[in-house]
A and B are shown apart, each in its own frame.
Chain A
Amino acid sequence: MVELVWLIPALPLAGFVVLVVAGRRLGEPAAGWLATLAVSGSFVAALITFAGLASRPAVERFYIQTLFEWIPVGNFSVDVGFLVDPLSMTMTLFVTGIAALIHLYSIGYMHGDADFSRFFVYLNLFVFSMLMLVLGDNLLLTFLGWEGVGACSYLLISFWFTNPANASAGKKAFVTNRVGDFGFMLAMFLLWTTIGSIRYADVLTTASSMAAVTATAVTLLLLVGAAGKSAQLPLFVWLPDAMAGPTPVSALIHAATMVTAGVYLLVRMNPVIAASYDWAPYVIAWVGALTALFAATAAVAQNDIKKVLAYSTISQLGYLFLAVGVGGYVPAIFHMVTHAFFKALLFLGSGSVIHGMHHEQDMRRYGGLYKLLPVTAATFIVGWLAIAGVPPFAGFWSKDEILAVAWNLPGAQGKVLWAIGLVTAILTAFYMSRQVFMTFFGRYRFGEPDAEEIAAGWDAKLAAAEAAASEADGSVEAARAEVETALASRSETEAALVAARAASDEAAAAAAAVPATELEAAQAALDAAGDDRKAKKEAQNRLKELEKPVKDADKAAKAATKAAEAVDKVTVSIGEAEARVEELVGAAASARSLVEQVRAEARAKKPTSSLVPLFSVADSSDVEDFLPAEVEHRRHHTPHESPALMTVPLLVLSIGAIGAGALNLPFASSTKFLEHWLEPSLFGHEVHLGLSGPHKVLLAVVAVLGGLIGILAAAQTYLRGAIRREGIEAPILAKAWGIDGAYAAVAGGPGTQGFEAVAAFDRRVVDGSVMGIGRLVAMVSALVRRAQTGLVRSYALGVTFGVVLLLVLFLTKATY
């Protein structure tokens, strides 16, 4: 039955090929079902192979199936072939099983996505690659899977490629992994040049005769590769960013399967590790322990629900490295399997939350979701208890074993490693409880503006007040300008009045100057004229002439009166304008005082910390009208539980998270199923616990107490508010100690500058000097030949003709 092993990777590969060709035509949901079917078939094939392997006597559980010779040159040869043994079988079973569940979940999660079928193309290719990694019978085929899963990870992280951040995260993952792959490749080269083969059968059986220095070099080079793939210090930076991918991808690739590949590789190569110097494995242990602690501290301060899980994954992978380094291969694999269950569960649960919360990933905006997402909450809580190490959930058993093998290491080193592991366990319980409390318990905060949004509201309000104040200032200015204009026109009208009065006086004087006698004489002449027309006319004219100054004087007097009236009018309007200015100045002053008031209010009330108040409703009444539009959006959204396609995988995984501890119960030799099962693959290199029963129980009690302390501390902080959060959620922790930022600064600064310098060197110096010589030659020859243009064209034609001429010459001279 083990002969069926080829079917295990072949089915996802077939699914991939079919989906590449016909995925778009199949569309949603057929493409998803086909992919799920392919992986489920693979799981069934794995079960059958497992049954076949298990039916053999323990030490005979090795089977190699060679499909064809892949790369044969000289003394180098590798096949495309599979090594089936307890170790690869264990990996295969949990990879295909969890992958099938996550495929199923994805049909629900990716519902409505325009690129639905493309998602499943990548997912099937990923499963195929992962299985090649696990089942390959040589390091190079493992490397094929290793890079293949890396490529799929790249494609899936940048799946929603229109967002530049996702695209960058994908690229970052690939390139960072390549740094690790550099170590992997060198390890293969070194193995081949020293022992002549990179096939596992050859490497594992000859490892004991390897020189310790070679074995150490291989171990450390593989550690570099493993640190890249499994996101250990200092190559972890890609994993938090990888959360940009769709959540099922985070669950499958960046939590349960791919990231464990580094641990698998180290466990697979256990005879080589055993053949290296004594200190070599401790390097692995220290890398793991430090990563575990470091990532746990970072997880404490994350607000993104997936970032918490990402750092948690890095931390848990650190545990696995710690276990491998102290010789605890079985605990490493045991915890890998239980972790695969509960971390996949937690990721899928977070995906369900995100799905139900309108793609909101910020836990500060969650709270009280227990009632709204009951299935998700219940299963998430199972995952939480499992990772926190609460008995009898799966994580308790496996984590306990890792702590025990660390303690078991003789000398102070073992105790220190154990202590780091214990502190990490406390932190793990703490940040996971924080996540659960912030998400599912406490007040429902989704419709509330959070601290940052209220701060934004205050900013908006202040900006509005400032705008009003500057507007008032503007109208004051306008009114002042009006007063100025009025004042100018008053002096104008006053000048006109003076002129009019002068004219009136003059006219009056002129009128007075006319002697009354003449007037009388003219009147008399008129009267005397009688019927004499001519005389009458003359008299009338004379009279008119004499009366004119009087009339003029009247007119001038009236004009003067009018001018005086105009002056009065302008004076009144100036008064009015001045009054308006006064009024507006008052308004502007009050507007400015309002700004001051708002500013003072903002100073007092604007949230300074991004911490969300968990125990009181954040007061947003003052800035209600200024909140970002999203708040309104959220107020109108009711979170909903996910469809059965998504909750069924959650339920199945939570069974694993509860019961997977049964794989390896420490009560008696007969209950250590996993240990016995893996024994042949470890070739006696598994460490033997030299601890007595009570000793182990005591360690377990301490570990459980540690977990409880973490949970209680979180409850005090996040459920009761008895501990202040400011000190815990420090910005430096949120930035994961600034390591990633430092890398980015180096890459963006000196790195880019250095690359730019090389490019400039190439342009100016290398090209410049060679072309300079060329130009010199061209110039000289141009002088010599007095050729101005088409120099090279004529060269080229010359060569053509020369060649033709030579050919003709030779053809005529040719003798056969």
Chain B
Amino acid sequence: MPALTLALLGAEGAAAPTFPVLSALILLPALGAALCAVLPKNRPDTVRQVAFLAAAATGVLSLWVMYHFDRSDAGFQFLEQKIWVRDFGIGWHLGVDGISLFLVVLTGLLFPLTIVAVTPEHEPKPYYAWLLLLQAGCMGVFVGLDLFAFFVFFEVVLVPMYFLIAGWGHGDSSKVALKFFLYTMLGSALMLVGILSLVTLHARASGGPVTFDLVTLAENQVLATTTARWIFLSFAAAFAIKVPLFPVHTWLPDAHTEAPTAGSVILAGVMLKLGTYGFIRFGLYLFPEATTYFAPLFLTLGVIGIIYGAIAATMQRDLKRLVAYSSVAHLGFIILGTFALNRQGLSGGILQMVNHGLSTGALFLLVGMIYERRHTRLISELNGLQKAAPILAGIFTVVMLSSIGLPGLNGFVGEYLTLLGAFASARWWGVVATAGVILAALYLLWAYQRVFHGAAQGAANEELAEINWREGLALAPLLAGIVFLGVYPKPMLNRIEPAVERLVAHLDANLGDDFVEVQGPAVERRGAEDLVHLAEEAEASAEAGGGHGDGAAGTEHEDGEG
């Protein structure tokens, strides 16, 4: 396993690339989208192949980025910086660091897998075009280091998702698409105001030229504290809707439920991360003081999300809605870790973004497969499926256990780190959030019991088709990720941590004594010899005491300093 990882995750200090790989990550799927749009309508297979190739090539490219990522470098890598609109200080500024790296890889891999796993029921041409455009947009958000470019990409992703839900969704999909759109547009509008104010006020305060450059804006903190807090809130509103946080989360279950499978997978796997990523990159980095100031608020919202999302998930009658509400809970952990403002919490949050992409992505694929076979997602209509489809059930079990946070699978590592981080810096939030792990077991196991256990009733349940090779092929990489990241998350954590450390240092630099990173004390690592020493001491004192104590439990009380 370590050897494989080494090969996969690459050599240290790989040579800097000579071509603009991050631009390619955006342009490749965008070109694919254009190609899909112009291909003749009567050749759906060709469209599908082109779409897969474009998405897969992007995926390969993202792996290439991961391979060449220098883990000793805490800053942005693969930088591209071109002046775009000089008058407005807008630049084509792209870069990847440990925070965005794995989101880029996730975006690179989840799209081709989705294309393999599901085919649209009708009109493949626009479907694939929108899907690829979505990939381009997501990539743009994760690599963009210019507020203007970021905002454009942040908006761009809305459009294809809207059309995917409205065009290929189920049920009342156009109404749901409306809801999705209204919500996110509202957030975006606020953020746009925030961006423009930030840029102009920053220019005025610093006396420099107008710039949309994230790094410049972040590293040079000149805004008045109150101003920064207000602008932070405008950003936070957009991100909170995207995550989504209570109470602006209700678009999510609707959108997830009515969206086609691919839409749900991408929505949960990638698009929700735009919000949590935004909180880190454009919240913490851009507004260190405001983020710290408002941390208790967002910690609280995160904890509410964990408990409330889990309770709401328990009572859902629709399997897909249940998974959607579970996302509210899972994203709550990420928010909790982020606003714990320590390395454990932040790294755990970032790890959890990827973990959630893998396990909830897989869950949505599985629910989609069940829907394709049974044409219903109502839990009450499904029963005893394990009998007819044991492999499907087995895969569902593994993914479910990952989502529950079973140690040894990916979900646990992230969840544990976010809780650990929260416990250290915001103890009671951490305690309440930890109770959420009980609920996670409850709603998923109960759903599994109702859908897969029991005696199958009706021919449709009795004769459910087993998973096919194409579906297996799409799920296999996700399962591999689920197991690998649970057993050996170190390579990933090693790449995340320098960037997180830099972020914490950034907080420290800008807040001075107002900020202290809270984590457990650093200890000297002890070994077997220290245990031997302890045993020797015990033996010696027993001999000295003649081996006869007072008979009470714990005869060797050494009360601490209290």
Contacts from A to B (Cβ < 8 Å):
58-60, 62-64, 68-76, 80, 83, 85, 118, 140, 143-144, 147-148, 151, 154-155, 158, 161-164, 166-168, 170-171, 174-175, 178-179, 181-182, 185-186, 188-190, 192-197, 199-202, 204-206, 208-215, 271, 273-276, 278, 281-282, 285, 325-327, 408-410, 679-685, 687-690, 755-756, 758-759, 762, 766-767, 770-771, 774, 777-778, 791-793, 795-796, 799-800, 803, 806-807, 810, 813-816
Contacts and interface: CB of A to CB of B under 8 A. Distances in A.
A756 B315 contact: yes
B182 A792 contact: yes
7 contacts: A74-B344, A163-B455, A182-B435, A211-B562, A683-B535, A799-B155, A803-B152
Interface string B177-200: 111011101000000000000000
B532 A60 contact: yes
Given A210-B560, A327-B555, A771 B521 contact: no
Given A74-B344, A684-B541, A758-B312, A197 B520 contact: yes
B413 interface: yes
A174 B445 contact: yes
Interface in B21-75: none
A235 to B, nearest CB: 12
B274 interface: no
A136 to B, nearest CB: 10
B224 interface: no
B449 A281 contact: no
Nearest to A128: B408
B531 A688 contact: no
A815 to B, nearest CB: 5
B392 to A, nearest CB: 14
Contact of B437 (A74, A182, A193, A778): A182
Interface in B546-562: 547-562
Contacts of A75: 343, 519-523
**Does more than half of chain A's interface fall in helix, strand or loop, or is it mixed?**
helix
B458 interface: no
A59 B532 contact: yes
A816 B92 CA distance: 10
Contact of A816 (B83, B311, B342, B431): B83
A759 B312 CA distance: 5
Complex A-B, nearest 9 residue pairs according to Cβ-Cβ distance, in ascending order: A684-B538, A327-B553, A74-B343, A167-B453, A144-B407, A767-B250, A759-B315, A189-B423, A196-B521
B539 A684 contact: yes
A766 B497 CA distance: 37
Nearest to A688: B549
Contacts of B82: 816
A197 B522 CA distance: 8
Contacts of B431: 186
Contact of A796 (B181, B420, B535): B181
A814 B534 contact: no
Contacts of A185: 416, 419, 434, 437
Contacts of B521: 75, 194-196
Most central of A70, A71, A175 by chain B CB within 10 Å: A71
Interface stretch (B7-15, B99-107, B114-122, B159-167): B159-167
Contacts of A211: 560-562
A685 B452 CA distance: 49
Contacts of B536: 59
A71 B419 CA distance: 14
Given A72-B490, A758-B308, A281 B497 contact: no
Interface in B313-361: 314-316, 342-344, 347-348
Given A175-B438, A281-B554, A685-B554, A690 B548 contact: yes
Nearest to A147: B407
B230 interface: no
A148 B155 CA distance: 43
A612 B44 CA distance: 73
B158 A799 contact: yes
B556 A685 contact: yes
Interface string B408-439: 10001100110110011001001100110110
B459 interface: no
Contact of B250 (A62, A193, A682, A770): A770
Contacts of B456: 162
Contacts of B551: 408-410, 687-690
Given A147-B406, A689-B551, A74 B315 contact: no
B135 interface: no
B417 A759 contact: no
B118 to A, nearest CB: 23
Contact of B490 (A63, A71, A194): A71
A212 B531 contact: no
Given A73-B344, A74-B497, A212-B560, A148 B408 contact: yes
Nearest to B417: A73
Contact of B493 (A73, A80, A684): A73
A212 B152 CA distance: 57
A592 to B, nearest CB: 43
B417 A154 contact: no
A814 B84 contact: yes
Most central of A796, A806, A807 by chain B CB within 10 Å: A796
